[in-house]
Structures are given as structure tokens and as C-alpha cells.
Amino acid sequence: MEQGGRLRIEADWLPPVAGLAHFEPPPGAYLAVPRQFEQKEQRARYGFRIDTIGLLIDPATGSEVMPMPRIAPLPGAPAGLLGLANVRGNLVPLYELRTLMELGPRPAGVEPLALVFGESDNAVGVLVEGHPVALARLHPLSRADIPVIPAALEGLAPAGWVQDDVIWLEFDHNAFFDMTLQRAA
């Protein structure tokens, strides 16, 4: 192979760049598609439920679900703001959407989880009754087909979708919590 410190290329070998162009994946191999080639309509959206209300997570927002963290209550906090939770060194306000939407208490025996939107100083959390679900077959609803929604969501659910006879509303958590803070002030 080597003669006098130089690499000798066999006559039947392809140059490295040409070899990459001829790659055939083995049968059954999974190849990731680069993000720029993903088709948006094939990507699943994620949604969570609060009682009978389905809310979609903005796909541009990072989010995570975790077991119920320890909450430090805030004296004089408005209804629905449970307090602050330490999430990886960041203080995250944690809200009870059931209270804000006037939906009544959580069913007995259901242990809530914390769903945290965003990160660092922009993070905010809500209590949810289960993990978000992937929704890959959403179909848009006309405004007339969107049911009556809680007053806390009025004007904050610009679009509705349906999958398997369940309605899912767009949920702009930033606008929702901005409005919640304005109402409390």
C-alpha cells in the first residue's frame, strides 16, 4: 500500500469522495433526514389536555415534562400561580391551568406532572394530568366549528384542529401568561 511514504491507490478503488456518492445503505437501515429536507406536514405536533380541553404546544417552543417539582409558594400570588419551582437552577413560575380556566378540581388519584415551556428566564410551567401526545393527523377547523372555550382562552386560541374527533386548540403560552399577569395587576 505505501511506497516511499506515499499512499498508493489501487486501480480498482474509488477516490474517497466518489465512494461516498455510491453509498447504498444496508437493508433495514434507518437514515435520518436532514432538517432542511423534512416535510412539515409529516411532523407531529404535540398536545396536552386540561380536563376536556386539548391544547397544542407551539412547535417552535421547547418544552419538557417532569414529575411534580417542589414548589415555593409566593405570598399574595394571584389565583392559579402556585409558586416557583427550581428547574435546573432556574426559578420557573408554575401555574394551575384548571384554576385559571375555572375548570374545577383535578380528579382524585390523578398525580399531576409539570409541563415547562421555554428555558432559562423565559420558562413557565403548568400542571398537566398526563404526558403530551403526538398528533400527526390534525385537520384544521373553521372558526365556526371551534366550540365555546373558557373565558381565560378567549382571543388566545386563534385556530382549532381535530384528530380522531378530539378538538385541539392552538395555545400561545406567551400571550396567555402575559394576559394572565395583566388581569392580575
Q: For residue 40, give the 3-state DSSP assignment.
A: helix
CA 110, chain centre distance (Å): 21
Q: Does residue 169 contact residue 160 with C-beta atoms inside 8 Å?
A: yes
Burial 60-77 (b: 16+ CB within 10 A, else e): eeebeeeeebebeeeeee
- pLDDT above 90 (res 81): yes
**pLDDT average, residue stretch 173-183:** 83
No. of helices (H) and no. of strands (E), the chain: 3, 14
- pLDDT above 80 (res 61): yes
pLDDT band at 72 (very low <50, low <70, confident <90, very high): very high
Rounded CA-CA distance 1/11 in Å is: 12
Rounded CA-CA distance 112/94 in Å is: 12
User: What is the domain partition of the chain in residue ranges?
Assistant: 2-37, 44-184
**pLDDT average, residue stretch 136-146:** 86
pLDDT tens digit sequence for 11-60: 566 566 555 555 555 565 555 555 554 555 557 899 999 888 899 998 88
What is residue 71's predicted lDDT score, i.e. its pLDDT?
A: 96
Rounded CA-CA distance 152/180 in Å is: 8
- % of the chain residues with pLDDT over 70: 77
**pLDDT average, residue stretch 108-115:** 90
Q: Does residue 146 contact residue 55 with C-beta atoms inside 8 Å?
A: no
Rounded CA-CA distance 63/4 in Å is: 58
pLDDT band at 174 (very low <50, low <70, confident <90, very high): confident
CATH value of 44-184 in 2.60.40.2550, 4.10.320.10, 3.40.50.10490, 2.40.50.180: 2.40.50.180
Among 100, 95, 65, smallest CA distance to 83 is for: 95
Q: What is the DSSP letter of 106?
A: P
Rounded CA-CA distance 127/66 in Å is: 10
What is the pTM for the complete model shown? 0.71
Instruction: Give the residue, 170 or 182, on which the prediction is more confident.
Output: 170
Instruction: Give the residue, 41 or 142, on which the prediction is more confident.
Output: 142
- pLDDT above 70 (res 76): yes
Which H or E run includes 95?
A: strand 90-95
**pLDDT average, residue stretch 104-114:** 87
